[in-house]
Amino acid sequence: MASRKLLLLPGDGIGPEAMAEVRKLIAAMNERLGAGFETEEGLVGGCAYDAHGQAISEEDMAKAMAADAVLFGAVGGPKWDAVPYEARPEAGLLRLRKDMELFANLRPAICYPALAQSSSLKPEVVEGLDILIIRELTGGVYFGEPKTITDLGNGQKRAIDTQVYDTFEIERIAGVAFELARTRRNKVCSMEKRNVMKSGVLWNEVVTATHKAKYPDVELSHMLADAGGMQLVRWPKQFDVIVTDNLFGDMLSDVAAMLTGSLGMLPSASLGAPDAKTGARKALYEPVHGSAPDIAGKGIANPIAMIASFAMCLRYSFGLVAEADRLEKAIAAVLDDGLRTRDILSDGMTEVGTGAMGDAIVEKFLALSA
Ligand code: NAD
Ligand code: IPM
Ligand code: MN
């Protein structure tokens, strides 16, 4: 059996609480299904700053580079509000994405049938929703230079962030979107703001050219990103795959999260390019939500985004497609049984804590695997 080396980076706040539930799944898969996962643990975010004065140590970066896949919890929190910008908890996540060249962030927003009532939108708007936001993750305003605050000396300061995209960065993320669309409903909507941003003009031009040259069979549409946000809330089922830049993707995926009932439901996969010889790709799996300081330590966080991120890991890093399908089915079945963490609770359902939700999913998963 091929090696299956996982690095677990639980992070801060509810990160470790959600990761504990994935650890249960890994142990169950090893003991009961002989999955052969080898795990290592590391620190990222505020906890790494407290231990090393950096949001991720060189040693843990090296472990991430050597792992077959990294599982990431969440980082950040008010405790670290005053730390230097370069060492803030979020810098650890940004360094992992950049140094591992994880340019493609897949954020699927699926409304499980049992949760159609939990969304703040009408059930008919979200029932059966299954869309995929593809967010460019290593470029744009997150990493563009200059990125500075300068004292102008007249009592004023000037802050600069720079949005930069080169052709190859847009081409490769568009390629991921078109390829994945072919495995789904064959539709891509590209979102940018070409009406005010030069990077939007180039984005639109390169996506259009990539489509024409290599993917003419896929249906392509374009939308200005602000209107895209509105359409996501108005009638989200019009979309299949959405491809967009780093910042718009960040914002639009939080919007999409609420279509599924809660930010605690949205998983993601951050993928690098496949190796030309082996086809293996660097990958990090991270829920879309953050460290949720308002509920951390209370045992009430929803672990489903983290568990569904592990399902994406099974599918994309290890080719364990049947197991990934089964894990997603187990999540749906537990929701059908009426179990709910507080964020997705509705009338007549049974409230459970993080650990009980994780236990129920592990049990269903093993029952489906028998
Ligand atoms: P957040 O995602 O942490 O929380 C937003 C709201 O959603 C909160 O009310 C929270 O309780 C709720 N929520 C989030 N995940 C939940 C879950 N699994 N179960 C139940 N409820 C959940 O966003 P925020 O409050 O804006 O940010 C808090 C910190 O997290 C900040 O430091 C931010 O930078 C960081 N953050 C980190 C990541 C990451 O590590 N990937 C992502 C987003 C934000
Ligand atoms: C996300 C988060 C991160 C981002 C932060 C924590 C750096 O909001 O993954 O959605 O902005 O990319
Ligand atoms: Mn975000």
Tokens at 97, concatenated: 């994405």
CA–CA separation, 67 and 122 (whole Å): 43
Pocket mutation for ligand 2, best pick of 56, 93, 268 (most atoms within 8 Å of C-beta): 93
For the chain, the straight-line distance linking the first and the last C-alpha, in angstroms and rounded, comes to: 21
Query: Residue 46: CB within 6 Å of ligand 1?
Result: no
Hey, whose CA ends up nearest to atom 9 of ligand 2?
A: 288
CA–CA separation, 259 and 253 (whole Å): 10
Ligand 3 centroid vs 250 CA: distance in angstroms? 5
ipTM of the complex: 0.98
Ligand 1 centroid vs 76 CA: distance in angstroms? 9
Ligand 1 centroid vs 186 CA: distance in angstroms? 32
Known binding-site residue numbers for Mg(2+) = 226, 250, 254
Pocket mutation for ligand 1, best pick of 17, 79, 255, 289 (most atoms within 8 Å of C-beta): 289
Buried b (16+ CB within 10 A) or exposed e, 2-11: eebbbbbbbb
Query: Residue 12: CB within 6 Å of ligand 2?
Result: no
Secondary structure, 3-state, the chain:
CCCEEEEEEEECCCHHHHHHHHHHHHHHHHHHHCCCEEEEECCCCHHHHHHHCCCCCHHHHHHHHHCCEEEEEECCCHHHCCCCHHHCHHHHHHHHHHHCCCCEEEEEEECCHHHCCCCCCCHHHHCCCEEEEEEECCCHHHCEEEEEEEECCCCCEEEEEECCCCHHHHHHHHHHHHHHHHCCCCEEEEEECCCCCHHHHHHHHHHHHHHHHHCCCCEEEEEEHHHHHHHHHHCHHHCCEEEECHHHHHHHHHHHHHHCCCHHHCCCEEECCCCCCCCCCCEEECCCCCCCCCCCCCCCCCCHHHHHHHHHHHHHCCCCHHHHHHHHHHHHHHHHCCEECHHHCCCCCEECCHHHHHHHHHHHHHHHHC
Write out residues in the chain with pLDDT < 70, as ranges.
1-2
Known binding-site residue numbers for NAD(+) = 77-90, 290-302
C-beta of residue 351 within 8 angstroms of C-beta of residue 11: no
Hey, whose CA ends up nearest to atom 16 of ligand 1?
A: 264
CA–CA separation, 204 and 239 (whole Å): 18
Hey, whose CA ends up nearest to atom 7 of ligand 2?
A: 90
Q: What are phi and psi of 288, to 5 degrees?
A: -75, -25
Tokens at 126, concatenated: 């979200």
Residue 117: the pLDDT is 85
Query: Residue 325: CB within 6 Å of ligand 2?
Result: no
Pocket mutation for ligand 1, best pick of 105, 250, 263, 306 (most atoms within 8 Å of C-beta): 263
Ligand 3 centroid vs 104 CA: distance in angstroms? 15
Ligand 2 centroid vs 48 CA: distance in angstroms? 17
Catalytically active residues, by annotation: 142, 193, 226, 250, 254
- Distance (Å) of CA 205 to CA 141, 174, 200, 201, 209: 19, 11, 8, 6, 6
Tokens at 353, concatenated: 């804590």
**What is the number of other CB atoms lying within 10 angstroms of the CB of residue 82?**
7
Query: Residue 250: CB within 6 Å of ligand 2?
Result: yes
Atom number, ligand 1, closest to the C-alpha of residue 342: 20
Known binding-site residue numbers = 77-90, 97, 107, 135, 226, 250, 254, 290-302
pTM above 0.95, yes or no: yes
